[in-house]
Amino acid sequence: MRQKRAKAYKKLMNLYTLSFGFRQPYQVLIDATFCENGTQQKIEIERMLDIVLQGKGKPMITQCCMVELYKLGPMGQSTVDVAKGFERRKCNHREAIPGEECVLSVVGPTNKHRYVIATQSSELRTKLRDVPAVPVIHVNRSVMVLEPPSHTTLKAKADAEAQSLNPKAPEVASLKSASTQDATPPESKKRKGPKAPNPLSMKKKKPKVIESGTNVERSKKGSDESGDVGAKRTRVDEDGEGGRGVGEIIEGERSGRKRKRRRKGAQAGDDAGEDGGGVEQSPMASVNS
């Protein structure tokens, strides 16, 4: 399928999903004409439905449509075999009625069970356009096609959106009452608020108090158990001094090692150079001689 068409189908199924509550697996009601045409064209109906719907589809067939297929006789045996793989939809028609009428009765005036209809009957397709939110699939020259949304469907979608934007009087009243109920408790909460101390102001004060205390302690005694922060700071200072000492020692060791390594490297380089010189010299000598 072309990328452009796949995108259009995806968008269309999103419309049915978001506005009319369609859900995967989509229930696809297949009638006798579609099933017959599909098997004649050797279309893998179940696989192609998934591609056209851009999601998982569940093929179904009504009892009346099955009866129609049985009437085809031995010529339609392959079609019957394919249809037997679909889920059977009970339509409660005691005596089989024409498949077209059966599908229309199952869909009803609102398609409340959210069926996708797959049919080759142009008459049925025309009638289904008067029912809101009925995705229709048919086969055109061995290509499965999802029809664009009908005017009825688009109107139903627009109406639903308008209703959500402009709620009716009772809904507005319920919303207002809900909002007033919600509004009262926050006021009482706000009154409760000031009684407790502001945690932000408390946090800012704490470090100032400690700093002033430590300064005083340092000036008076220097070593006091009560000032933990002060003790830590003195430790940090000691560590800093100690750290410098250790660092110097390490640097000294490193420099010593480096010197040793350099010496070793230099020696190795000298040796290699001597060896290389020997190798170079010997061929030159042979050439010269």
Taking CB under 5 A as the binding criterion, the range among 94-102, 124-132, 188-196, 209-217 that sits at the site for Zn ion is 94-102
Name the residue nearer to Zn ion (CB basis): 105 or 152.
105
Contact mark string toward Zn ion, 125..164, x via CB under 5 A: ----------------------------------------
93 touches Zn ion by CB under 5 A: yes
Residues paired with residue 136 on neighbouring β-strands, in sequence order: 117
How do 26-30 and 57-62 pair as beta strands?
A: parallel
Name the residue nearer to Zn ion (CB basis): 49 or 91.
91
98 touches Zn ion by CB under 5 A: no
Instruction: Please state the closest distance from residue 35 (CB atom) to Zn ion, in A.
Output: 15
Residues paired with residue 117 on neighbouring β-strands, in sequence order: 29, 136
Instruction: Please state the closest distance from residue 120 (CB atom) to Zn ion, in A.
Output: 18
CB 98 within 8 A of CB 77: no
43 touches Zn ion by CB under 5 A: no
User: At a CB cut-off of 8 Å and minimum separation 6, what does 24 contact?
Assistant: 55, 56
Q: Which two tokens stand for residue 221?
A: 């005694």
Which residue has 């229709």 as its token pair? 136
What CA–CA distance (Å, rounded) separates 176 from 182? 10
Q: How many CB atoms lie within 10 A of CB 127?
A: 16
Site for Zn ion in 173-192 (CB under 5 A): none
Total number of residues that touch Zn ion (CB under 5 A): 5
Name the residue nearer to Zn ion (CB basis): 91 or 116.
91
Contact mark string toward Zn ion, 52..91, x via CB under 5 A: ----------x-x--------------------------x
What CA–CA distance (Å, rounded) separates 26 from 123? 23
Strands (E), 107-249: 115-118, 136-140, 143-146
Binding residues (CB under 5 A) for Zn ion: these are: 62, 64, 91, 93, 102
